[in-house]
Amino acid sequence: MKKSQIIKTIVFCTLGVLILIFNNQLVEHANYLVGSLMIIYGIEDSIIKISSHLVKDETPKCLDDLLIVVLGVILLFLNQDKHFVPLCIIWATWAILREEWEISEVIHEYKVLGVKIVNIIESIAVIVISILFIFSPTEHHVHIHIVVLGFELILEVMFPLIEKLFEKLLHKDNEKLKEQC
């Protein structure tokens, strides 16, 4: 595992646990939490796209990442005052688009079946919760989404680790079968 992946795993798991512990206190500051995460996510995704396209000598497509950063900045300056509608719509739309991309990636790439199913179930659950979030932008749904965010941060870095573990176990099983034949 790369050093950057280890750091990301530690940071995401720590943030996820902190969000789960302090979820009640974070509701009133959700715009800062989500805005900051959107900015970080957009910048990270842009860096990944740019670095992978530099290797391929292609022009990276980072417009969607720029939009995420701009929406994150808007959330930072949003005066919430118990009026959650703009926050809910922006956050839910971002979550739906992110999960749609995740489902597409899982379907188009070969991944271990167990992890693929769990990943798709998690994505569908987030999409359903996000749709509810758009149609009922209340403090209660903000609270639910904050809890889901805590779990999402942990799962985002744990899925690749679980996937690698499954691949190693399957590889060992395949080796044993070959030896027996």
**Per-domain boundaries in the chain:** 3-170
Rounded to whole angstroms, how far apart are CA atoms 169 and 113? 13
The 3-state secondary structure of 121-162 reads HHHHHHHHHHHHHHHCCCHHHHHHHHHHHHHHHHHHHHHHHH
178 pLDDT higher than 80: no
**17 confidence band (pLDDT: 50, 70, 90):** very high
Q: Considering the entire predicted model, what is its pTM?
A: 0.71
- The CA radius of gyration of the chain, in Å to the nearest whole number, is 18
To 10 degrees, what angle do helices 30-56 and 63-76 make? 160
Q: What is the DSSP letter of 109?
A: S
pLDDT for 50 equals 80
Phi and psi, residue 34, nearest 5°: -70, -40
The whole-number pLDDT of residue 104 equals 80
Share of the chain above pLDDT 90, in %: 6
Which of residues 178 and 1 earns the better pLDDT score? Answer: 178
Cα separation values, 98 from 46, 81, 91, 178, Å:
14, 27, 10, 40
Q: For the chain, what is the mean pLDDT?
A: 80
Distance CA 166, CA 100 (A): 24
Cα 60 from Cα 46, distance rounded (Å): 8
pLDDT band at 39 (very low <50, low <70, confident <90, very high): very high
117 versus 135: the higher-pLDDT residue is: 135
pLDDT of residue 110: 57
pLDDT confidence tier of residue 82, bands split at 50, 70 and 90: low
Residue 1 pLDDT more than 70? no
Q: What is the pLDDT of residue 94?
A: 86
